[in-house]
Amino acid sequence: MERRRPFPRPSRRRVITVANQKGGVGKTTTTVNLAAALAMHGVRVLVVDLDPQGNASTALGVDHRSGTPSIYEVLLGDRPLDEVVVRSSESSGLFCAPATIDLAGAEIELVSMVARETRLRRAIDGMRNEVDYVLIDCPPSLGLLTVNALVAARELLIPIQCEYYALEGLGQLLRNVELVQAHLNQELRLSTILLTMYDSRTRLADQVVHEVKEHFGDRVLSTTIPRNVRLAEAPSYGQSVLTYDPASRGSLSYLAAARELAERGVDPAPRGTAGSARDGAPSGPIPTGGAPVNGHSPAGHAPPTGRGTGAVQASPDRHGPPSGYGAANGYGADDSYPADDDRYGTPADGYDSPGGHAAPAGPSTPDGFAVPDGPMVPGAPSTRDGYGRPNGYGPHGGAAGPGGPNLNGAGR
């Protein structure tokens, strides 16, 4: 029932640009699957494919061969947006403005045109087709196509791959957002961060999650998209992962992220500049030093009680010692038994198990075992197991030899 419950519709059209100049972070996958999830739950969505590769068009099953009416003609002013919009087979409420290879030359052609940065915004504003969401898939660059997308939108969604390189270029993207806000679109704001390609087996993924959440706060969706082979397979069938394999981890994760995005219902913020008090948007590079405090996992769980703090802790979803148990002696990996602590005396049998049996009466050797029976040579410092006593005497007195007591305290 939870999966079928309709998503809330926004009070006004939400135009969201999905951008990150680093390639391979999941921009197109995020755009397509969020759009499909929204459309399957009673929301009308338009996907604008602004990437010359046309991958979003492919994933939605929309033809984007050269010569097909596309977003390229819209940017050049040859067609209105309504004429190039095609309904996707994914859902009756999902539409796509496809991209063709012709879009690769659009940046050069737009350079000499008047108001080249605002062409996409004017096209969306003039659209007659009523939709609740417009999701714009950007190319992996900070060129004129991406600038058009930033000017057209009120919200910016940044997918961040859970790896170090994805953090490195984020500062430059935020500086470009500041420039767009200051000169072209004061309504633009960074509203959403989505962490993608999370691999629970690596500490690096945990560290990236921790640092991004620490820096961006509640703008980071609580849902994290895991690495999942179904996400990579679905586009080859011209489908979103929600249609291709609804029960997969990737499908369930994007469904949860879409619901979270819809329920946030972010209202446009007051006019201002990037990083101002209007939305607290940070600017500049993200701090990248230091590991997560207390070794937190993405779920925010602290290390289980009983483990030492000196050793690297496994997050709750990693393989490691059972939760709540430490090393075999009850201490952490770097701890040892307290020295000269009479609480930890040597058990009678030389083992640490509390239920051990007492050894036979008599002295024991350093390894906790009684000395084997057998005669000792008077004056010789050795026995058969290599542990001897001077002059053949045990610690309790009494000469060892024929007719005398042996070291185990038993008569011969």
Number of structural domains found in the chain = 1
Give pLDDT tens digits for 87-111. Answer: 998 899 999 999 999 898 888 999 8
Domain of 83: which CATH number? 3.40.50.300
The 3-class SS string of 40-61 reads: CCCCCEEEEECCCCCHHHHHCC
DSSP 3-state of 94: strand
CA distance 218 to 210: 12
Identify whether 57 is part of a domain: yes
- Residue 249: give the domain boundaries: 14-289
Helix (H, G, I), strand (E, B) or coil at 385: coil
User: Is residue 278 domain-resident?
Assistant: yes
- Taking only the tens place, the pLDDT of each residue in 344-385 is 444 444 444 444 444 444 444 444 444 444 444 444 444 444
Asked whether the beta carbons of 138 and 47 are under 8 A apart, the reply is no
Q: Residue 88 falls within a domain, yes or no?
A: yes
Q: Which residues pair with 364 in a beta bridge?
A: 370
pTM exceeds cut of 0.95: no
State yes or no: pLDDT of 303 exceeds 50.
no
In a domain, 364, yes or no: no
The Cβ of residue 296 has, within 10 Å, a number of other Cβ atoms equal to 20
235 with 59: CB under 8 angstroms?
yes
362 falls within a domain: no
Rounded to an integer, what distance in angstroms lies between the CA atom of residue 373 and that of residue 190? 82
Rounded to whole angstroms, the Cα distance separating 42 from 259 reads 12
Q: Is residue 395 part of a domain?
A: no
DSSP, collapsed to helix, strand or coil, labels residue 97 as strand
Q: Is residue 91 part of a domain?
A: yes
What ranges make up the beta strands (E) of 50-154?
Answer: 86-87, 94-97, 133-137
Please indicate, yes or no, if residue 8 is contained in any of the structural domains: no
Distance between CA atoms of 51 and 107, rounded to whole angstroms?
A: 12
